Amino acid sequence: MAKILVIEDDDLMRELVSVHLGDAGHDVVPCADGAVAIRAILDQKPDLVILDLGMPYIDGFDLLAALKGDPLTQAIPVVVLSSRTDLQSLDRVVALGAAEFLNKPIRVENLLDAVERRLHNSAA
């Protein structure tokens, strides 16, 4: 299937998302923060990124802006998975180029549907 980078600082959430994506047949690369994720994205060349917003070192907003501003990574679809529900955060990630915004807590079916939708759209 696809190589998916999961960038999440919460150990339990990162593990849960990684397990569900792995069970669905995807190759999952977990990252605990944005600084580690930048190197992993360049080295692993994922098909999709799942991104939390509130992280240490480099937050999700800055990482999303960097990904979408770099010709080497701008085509990688990014699904934001966050507990933030304010309209300002949603507007900001959309403006920065996120493919989709999902709220935590997330139902497994919704996560897998979003991943398949974004992988299909990027392959079309």
Query: pLDDT per residue over 55-66, tens digit each?
Result: 988 999 999 999
pLDDT score for 122 = 75
pLDDT at 92: 96
**How confident is the model over 70-74, as a mean pLDDT?**
95
pLDDT of residue 121: 85
In 3D space, the residue among 97, 24, 26, 87 whose CA is nearest the CA of residue 64 turns out to be 97
What pLDDT score does 124 carry? 58
Centre a 10 Å sphere on the Cβ of residue 74 and count the other Cβ atoms it contains.
12
- Average pLDDT of the segment spanning 27-35: 96
Reported as a pLDDT band with limits 50, 70 and 90, residue 97 is: very high
State what percent of residues in the chain have pLDDT above 90.
Answer: 92
Q: Is the pLDDT of residue 85 over 90?
A: no
The answer to whether residues 22 and 50 touch, using CB atoms and an 8 Å cutoff, is no
Looking at residue 37, what is its pLDDT? 95
* Domain 3-123, CATH number (from 3.30.450.40, 3.30.230.70, 3.40.50.11740, 3.40.50.2300): 3.40.50.2300
**What's the average model confidence in pLDDT over 34-48?**
95
